Amino acid sequence: MPSIHRSLAALATFVALMAFAPVAAAGTHHPFHLDKTCAEDLSQPLGYICTVQHSDFKWIPTGTDVHYLSQNSSGDVVQLSIEIANGRTDGACTWTSERDATCVFDAGTGRLTQLHLDVVVTANADESVWYWDGTYWFGRN
């Protein structure tokens, strides 16, 4: 009988670990990188739009537009939105200089539901290409 109790205890431990595995995986941070270019677009609220040229995140593919919606009165915080075929996420970028910022996105819709994205924004020397590098994860805050 002791071997049955041990087997049941081992099985219960295995089941418990498997039940919590999705929760742990949901919060796992993954590296994120994209390159984008920006162009004047007077139909946009802030007069420009950026387009992803490369992304290592499959749900924000090449060709995705990043819309800049509004900014605070000092211009150092900008609200933005990324919309894909089946989802959307909104975020805010806080600028520390003309070429450096941090952006945070939380809890989108569709495929981007429960997406959290934290990136550092930089640019090449002539500001023709902008880079987002950071981490993403899925889950509740």
pLDDT in tens, 71-93: 999 999 999 999 999 999 999 99
Per-residue confidence (pLDDT) for residue 5, from 0 to 100: 45
121 contacts 100 by C-beta, under 8 angstroms: yes
pTM for the predicted model, two decimal places? 0.79
What residues form DSSP beta bridges with 132? 34, 121
Tokens of 20: 């919590």
Per-residue confidence (pLDDT) for residue 140, from 0 to 100: 76
Read off the DSSP letter of residue 72: -
Give the angle 98-99-101 at the CA atoms, nearest 5°.
Answer: 95
Q: Which residues of the chain fall below pLDDT 50?
A: 5-25
